[in-house]
Structure 1
Amino acid sequence: MERSDTRTILRLAVPALLSLIAEPLFLLADSAIVGHLGVAPLAGLGVASAALLTAANVFVFLAYGTTSLVARWVGAGRQGDALGAGVDGMWLAIGVGVVTALLVALFATPVCRVFGAGGEVLAQAAVYLRISALGLPAMLLALAATGVLRGFQNTVTPLVATTVGFAANLALNLVLVYGVHLGIAGSAYGTVIAQWGMATGLAAVVLRRATAEGASLVPRPNGVLRSARHGVPLLVRTVALRAVLLLTTWDATALGDIPLAAHQVAMTVFGFLSFVLDALAIAAQSLTGTALGAGDTALVRSRTRLMLGWSLGAGCAVGVLLGLIHTVLPPVFTPDAGVRSALAAALVVIAVLAPVAGVVFVLDGVLIGAGDGRALAVVQTVLLLLYAPVAIVLHAHAADLARHGARTSVVALWCAFATYMIARMALLLLRSRSDRWLVPGA
């Protein structure tokens, strides 16, 4: 049984990993192309992308919540109900996407100003963000459709859609920016077109299957509201998580330019490692929901133990690798000796933290798959309330830390963040060992 479960986990996790890694390539392609237009367009792209990524991360519950709902029905052997719940989630995504797009388009300039843009950078960022708002409904629809497919234990189709979307995005940007000479606006239009293509393709796969099962394709008010209620706790969890990350960045800004630069690169590295470790969490969401839908709590426990072992092993492997190359990576990102030294020190902390992150991400996936959103919202809110005073104290003593040098400052910052991650692991382990989240049935 364990060997069969291992194959199933790998079948889900490997395509999910490749898909997660492929997603940032949209931004990399835009950056490479827009970068040749000048400093202001590139800086404007960075600001607008930060706003768009914030919106996407906040609404990731559209994928996570839909996965757990659909997987429950699949496990119960009720394919039609699973697809009906999935279609409801997609309609919710469209509604939320349209409202968000309107707000972003109307307030593009103030939003970019909040993210620190000014002058010509502000003008470029506002143009990109205003046009990119047209793609927000597609972005959220793609999240929901991906959640449906993951609920059916299909992570290959989202990978294909992401790969094709990246290729289309690259081609369109080259044509619109350099061929038609639309500047940063051409990059935004290219990305929007690619996003709608991805969303259309993913939605078509889901709707074709829903039609075959006789599921309703029209929005059902009760079903859409059920999806919304199911997603609210995950939204609270995500907002609290983003608040922790923002507090950490707020502390980094008070430490000085060199610590801030080192922290930003370190957080980028940590984000990439998160993609690697989060692939198992995606598998956990689907497998947990399906097993609980079938009423097999013993299988859930068995798979959770197996995935915890895998995540701990993956975290250790990633940590050892990062520890070995912690002095090799900094020169790739910066020629500044001070930033290199501080970054190398931060990478050592991240290397030690990697096994903890592996356990955290998988337990998050297991509990999301079980539909334990309320507990996750409470846990993350408690952690935010505990972390906020630490961040405030660190910010108040930023000048004292800065006098000890950039290396010491960055290590202190990342040790504080590591403490938060360890506390998060402890609370999630405590929750996973109880039986309150093991609720069987659809």
Structure 2
Amino acid sequence: MMADSDPSFPSMAKPKLPLWVFVKDFRLVLTLDELGLEIARIALPAAMALTADPIASLVDTAFIGRIGSVELAAVGVSIALFNQVSRIAIFPLVSVTTSFVAEEDVMAKVAAEAEESESLETGLVTTNESEPPNSGDVSSFEVATSKVTNERRHIPSASSALVIGAILGLVQTVFLISAAKPLLNFMGVKSDSPMLAPAQQYLTLRSLGAPAILLSLAMQGVFRGFKDTKTPLYATVAGDVTNIILDPILMFVFRLGVSGAAISHIISQYLISIILLWKLIAQVDLVPPSIRHLQFGRFLKNGFLLLMRVVAVTFCVTLSASLAARQGPTSMAAFQICLQVWMATSLLADGLAVAGQAIIAGAFAQKDFERATATASRVLQLGWLLGLVLALVLGLGLTFGARIFTNDVDVLHLIGIGIPFVAGTQPINALAFVFDGVNFGASDFGYAAYSMVLVAIFSIGCLLFLSASYKFIGLWIALTIYMSLRAFAGFWRLGTGTGPWNFLRRL
């Protein structure tokens, strides 16, 4: 058999259905072995960093809800619009950066180890032939190790990511400021709506923070590629704590209202960017020898595929918010609260996705398919368990905690309708996010793009039909269908053992 003669597959058995990967070593799912500890070291800080910003947005939402339901709905539309436009640039940039940096870092370490080994051998030969056994000279091995340890690394993808991030951030700022009113009109906030003035005010101000957001997330992608998720966590927490502290001061003490919320958010994002840049400069030489050393072509090719994907994702979520806004301020306010909670908790699974992507990318770079398989199995199983826990926590917590965000009786009634969907979809959401990380780690960007376009086409039809027929509850039924299809697309790729996962048929 081909598998028997292929050195890439050290422990071969009879051909199996690729579906076995989903239950492989399930008894070890919570074991803190070497793989479990590596996943935990990457996933836990990543999850905390990913949820920090949505939590800060929830705090914004809680403060703004004290001003009034109109302002709450207006800011809800603006946040949804800003986040979805940002995702068009952020998601491809961060995902591609993580995979490329992980691959380059692994290969650089392999090359450094080979150089150190060669230096050690040369040093031993020199010592044996011409030096006394106990001379006080420093060996070639020690010199080589010191050089590798003390010199800053040159990672071409890191430099490329920062240049692209800065350009995209400036473009986003100009676009959102110049097109704020038409975009809000598209979202259902018409010229005669009381939501227009506060929504436009908030969106215009918050857009000034776009360059900082794009740069900071590009740098987070670099650190994730290094399997360092603690540094982004510390920077994000510092920024978001600053945001939370400034919110009530600017909003109520200085009476800036929704503008105060936007300004505090801008300050926090620039603080995060400065901290990450400071830390990154200490580790990486960000100035390439020449422009030819940058990876623009590689970024653009794979980034375009992910851009297709994120546009499809963005359109689905933005359309749902637009349809909620068209149902009026009450529906939009309730939808905003449910959506923020839904996304904030679901992003916990993105920590597992980050861990899976970073480890699998390194494994594929070394053609270590056993490790790639074990990692995929473990993070998917952990994602399913996490989703079940989140479903239970949200089902109970949101029922009693909705009054944190608003006291409006009508808004609370609609939130109660949305709770079963927000809580019940958590296992599905968790799997969908983890599948993304697994496939990105395998650089399977083409499948991720094309499958998501098909999912979006069907989901958009569901959103339009169900929202028209069943209003608020119809939106959440459609979003449940959308996330289920996303999860199924990832399941199909691994379950059939196609694309980069075809080796599963031989393991």
TM-score, normalised by the number of residues in structure 1 = 0.83
Matched, 1:378 2:450: yes
1:11 to 34, 41, 45: 41
Other-structure match for 1:21: 51
Number of the residue aligned with 1:276: 348
Are the counterparts in 1 of residues 43 and 351 from structure 2 also a CA contact under 8 Å? yes
Cα offsets for 1:245-286 (capped at 9, x unmatched): 234445556777776655444333321221222221121121
CA contact (8 A) 1:292 1:439 kept: no
**1:320 equivalent in structure 2:** 392
In structure 2, the partner of 1:63 is 94
Task: Select the structure of larger CA radius of gyration.
Answer: 2
> For 2:427, what is the secondary structure of its paired residue?
helix
Determine which of 426, 434, 439 is the counterpart of 2:488: 426
Write the mapping of 1:383-402 to structure 2, written as runs, cut at 5 A: 383-396=455-468, 398=469, 401=470
Which residue does 2:227 correspond to in 1? 153
User: Is this contact kept in 1: 2:97–2:225, CA < 8 A?
Assistant: yes
SS at match of 1:437: helix
Alignment partner of 2:500 out of 429, 437, 440: 437
Cα 1:76–1:351 shift into 2, 3 Å? same
For the pair 1:107 / 2:176, whether they are aligned, the reply is: no
For 1:218 and 1:176, the matched residues in 2 are separated by: 45
1:310 counterpart = 2:382: yes
**Does 2:432 correspond to 1:360?**
yes
1:97 aligns with 2:97: no
**Using the alignment, how far apart are the partners of 2:325 and 2:294 within structure 1?**
46
Q: How much has 1:132 moved relative to structure 2?
A: 3.0
Cα-to-partner distance string for 1:292-326 (whole Å, 9 max, x where unaligned): 12221111011111111111111122223334556
CA shift at 1:155, angstroms?
A: 0.6
1:73/1:82 contact within 8 Å kept: no
Name the CA shift for 1:204/1:217 in 2 (closer, same or farther; >3 Å): farther
Post-superposition CA distance 1:35-56 (Å, at most 9, x none): 6777776665444433322222
1:44–1:124 CA contact under 8 A, matched in 2: yes
Q: Distance in 2 between matches of 1:178 and 1:83?
A: 46
Instruction: Give the stretch that moved more between structures: 313-322 or 121-130.
Output: 121-130
Letter in 1 for 2:82: L
**Aligned pair in 2 of structure 1 residues 49, 217: CA closer, same or farther (>3 Å)?**
farther
Q: What corresponds to 1:207 in structure 2? A: 281
- In the alignment, the residues of structure 2 paired with residue 432 and residue 392 of structure 1 have an alpha-carbon distance, to the nearest angstrom, of 31
Instruction: Please list the CA deviations of residues 69-108 of structure 1 after superposition, one character each: whole Å capped at 9, or x if unmatched.
Output: 1111122235888722111111101111112222223333
The answer to which of 232-241 and 350-359 deviates more is 350-359
**Which amino acid in the other structure matches residue 437 of structure 1?**
P
1:139 aligns with 2:213: yes
Distance 1:221 1:313, change over 3 A: same
- Separation in 1, partners of 2:322, 2:225: 37
Distance 2:184 2:324 in 1: 20
Tell me if the contact between 2:61 and 2:405 (Cα under 8 Å) persists in the aligned partners.
no
Query: Aligned pair 1:417/2:479, yes or no?
Result: yes
Using the TM superposition, give the Cα deviation of residue 17 of structure 1 relative to its aligned residue in structure 2, in angstroms. 1.7
Q: Does 1:76 align with 2:138?
A: no
Deviation digits for residues 370-398 of structure 1 (CA, Å, limit 9, x no counterpart): 221111110100111222333333245x2
Question: Contact 1:288–1:370 at 8 Å: present in 2 too?
Answer: yes
CA distance in 2, matches of 1:185, 1:326: 28
Name the CA distance, whole Å, in 1 between partners of 2:262 and 2:243.
10
Distance apart, 1:177 and its partner CA: 5.5
Q: Offset of 1:428 from its aligned partner?
A: 1.0
Q: Does 1:194 align with 2:286?
A: no
Unaligned runs of 5+ in 1: 403-408
**One of 233, 237, 240 as aligned partner of 1:166:** 240
- The one-letter amino acid of 2:420's match is V
Q: What's the C-alpha RMSD, in Å, of the aligned pairs?
A: 3.4
Shift of 1:430: 1.4
Shift of 1:236: 1.3
Q: Name the aligned partner's letter for residue 166 of structure 1.
A: D
| Contact 1:367–1:373, Cα closer than 8 Å, also in 2 | yes
Whether the 8 Å contact between 1:334 and 1:340 is mirrored in structure 2 is: yes
TM-score normalised by length of structure 2: 0.74
How far apart are the structure 2 equivalents of 1:174 and 1:333? 15
Verify the 8 A CA contact 1:70 1:82 in the aligned structure 2: no
For the structure 1 residues 123 and 218, does the alpha-carbon distance in structure 2 shift closer, same or farther, using more than 3 Å as the test? Answer: farther
For 1:416 and 1:354, the matched residues in 2 are separated by: 15
Unaligned 5+ segments in structure 2 are: 1-27, 113-151
**In structure 1, the residue corresponding to 2:443 is in which secondary structure?**
coil
Structure 2 Cα separation of the partners of residues 130 and 251 of structure 1: 22
Structure 1 residue matching 2:367: 3-state secondary structure: coil
Amino acid at match of 1:236: M
Give distance in 1, aligned partners of 2:207 and 2:385. 40
Distance across 1 between alignment mates of 2:422 and 2:56:
26
Please give the alpha-carbon distance, in whole angstroms, between the structure 1 residues aligned to 2:259 and 2:67: 12
**Does 1 or 2 have the higher relative contact order (CA < 8 Å, sep 6+)?**
2
Matched, 1:298 2:340: no
Whether contact under 8 Å (2:330, 2:410) holds in the other structure is yes
Aligned length: 428
Structure 1: how far apart are the matches of 2:397 and 2:408?
Answer: 18
